[in-house]
Amino acid sequence: MSRFDLSPLYRSAIGFDRLVGDLEHLLHGKSSEQPPYNIEKQDDDRYLITVAVAGFAESELELSVEQNTLLVKGKREQPARESRYLYQGISERDFELKFRLADHVQVKDAKLEHGLLRISLLREVPEALKPRRIEIGEGRVLEHKDK
């Protein structure tokens, strides 16, 4: 894979260093594809992350959010039994997945069904930050009376 030089972005994108750092991580970092997962956009403000966690009990899964990062961990409570597999396609190892959340995206709930962990996300922009329409007046100047 070819390497991209993102240093020009650091010079011209003031305040976006975290975004550029994330891009570098995506381009150059190694990501674990275990366990497999889907990210689905349900509408403009709702998202669903589905993680295949076959064999994990609810008590062995942990979700946390810190500084706009969703962390999904799976840690086995009991060690896997010693077996002599002819073929092992089901991973039984612990895992950790990190998802960067955009501003104002909150985790609404999480459910474990049939070996799939479903995490619902919702973007809730505060009213003060939503675009608003400014009415244009007639240009009258209000007189200011001195005392």
Task: Give the pLDDT of residue 7.
Answer: 62
Task: Give the pLDDT of residue 127.
Answer: 81
pLDDT in tens, 97-111: 999 998 889 999 999
120, 107 in Cβ contact below 8 A? yes
What domains are defined for the chain? Answer: 1-30 (no CATH), 32-126 (2.60.40.790)
For the whole model, what pTM was predicted?
Answer: 0.66
What residues have CB less than 8 Å from 57, skipping those under 6 apart? 77
Spell out, as residue ranges, where the chain has pLDDT lower than 70: 1-33, 79-80, 139-147
Q: How many CB atoms lie within 10 A of CB 100?
A: 14
